[in-house]
Amino acid sequence: MEEITLEAVRAAHHRIRDSVHRTPVLTSSRLNELCGASLYFKCENFQKTGSFKARGAVNAVMSLSDGQASRGVATHSSGNHAAALAWAAGRRGVPAYVVMPRTASRIKIASVERYGGRITFCEPTHKAREEAADLVIRETGATMVHPYNDQRIIAGQGTAALEFLEDTPGLDLLICPVGGGGLLAGTSIVAKSLSPRIKVFGGEPEGAADASLSFRSGSRTPVDKPASIADGLLALVGDLTFPIIQRHVDDIVTVSDAEIAAAMRQLMEVLKIGVEPSGSTSYAVTKDPRIRFSGQRVGIVLSGGNVDFEHLPWAKSGT
């Protein structure tokens, strides 16, 4: 399998730039004071379909031949990738078959339906998702577009970091959430290619810390029954994304659900923006007292904004 390069990310950006938003970078003097650092927020919560997933999805769909595209695309996803793939397929006029766990967020199910995705529900396990997706592909002939373990997806997700570093030069540290690892892998390729001295961190929930465990052990280490309010980060880091993360990422930091909820709330109260728990995880990392952020220029990818306002997490966590 060919290595994913900065040139592949640039090609993806050229392919998708007329379809996605070049999302803004926000700053806040108040949040800078609280952290003791200069924070820059890449707002993928303002992206098409509400998350960075639109980048990889449209890159994958637009990379297909006409023959492949005519049979549609398929995936399994807890929500954001599902919605993004349904949207991207709709732009090309082809069907999208989506397997979702029956426990998926109501707001994310509604989003997939709104974009025309054809949903099959399954049990909330990795095995059930993969088996259901395999069945759909056998029945339809659709092309699988994996949520993260796909070179086209990784290159597409890397375009967020490409824009970020162009718009905000001189960052010392770049943080993004990690679930299956597509965003972190793409981000790290771009960051280390453009600025080898920059540090790249992943942020991960304590209850789904497979990427952190894998990073430290040197081999993919699944977590039994991962659980977190950051439902988009429950996936096992991929066998394609993990070697990239090993090679380019400096650390993966775990945070509690209470810390994620507090970060989400602070972003809403101070920046006045809605960021879902998964997207807030990267900001929560800046609260870790073990890491020196003081005086640093810190880039933070807020990966998504599909917030279920009827079930705000601090109402449960007590934060």
R_g of the chain, CA atoms, integer Å: 18
Q: Same structural domain for residues 202 and 291?
A: yes
The residue among 144, 165, 184 that closes a domain is 144
Tens of each residue's pLDDT in the chain, 319 residues:
568 999 999 999 999 999 999 999 999 999 999 999 999 999 999 999 999 999 999 999 999 999 999 999 999 998 899 999 999 999 999 999 999 998 888 888 999 999 999 999 999 887 898 999 999 999 999 999 999 999 999 999 999 999 999 999 999 999 999 999 999 999 999 999 999 999 999 999 999 999 999 999 999 999 988 899 998 898 899 999 999 999 999 999 999 999 999 999 999 999 999 999 999 999 999 999 888 899 999 999 999 999 888 878 877 544 4
Q: Same structural domain for residues 119 and 42?
A: no
Q: Same structural domain for residues 23 and 97?
A: no
Number of domains in the chain: 2
Q: Same structural domain for residues 125 and 47?
A: no
Strands 118-122 and 199-205: unpaired
Q: Same structural domain for residues 59 and 26?
A: no
* CATH code of the domain covering residue 113: 3.40.50.1100
User: What is the domain extent for residue 113?
Assistant: 54-144
**Which DSSP state fits 306?**
-
The residue among 144, 173, 190 that closes a domain is 144
Which tokens in the block code for residue 276? 């879902």
Instruction: Please state the pTM of the whole predicted model.
Output: 0.95
- The secondary structure of 51-82 as a DSSP string is BTHHHHHHHHHHHS-HHHHHT-EEEE-SSHHH
Neighbours of 8 (CB within 10 A): 20
- Give per-residue burial for 176-215: e unless 16+ CB within 10 Å, then b: bbbbbbbbbbbbbbbbbbebeebbbbbbbbbbbbbbbbbb
Q: Same structural domain for residues 175 and 263?
A: yes
Q: Same structural domain for residues 167 and 123?
A: no
The residue among 87, 118, 144 that closes a domain is 144
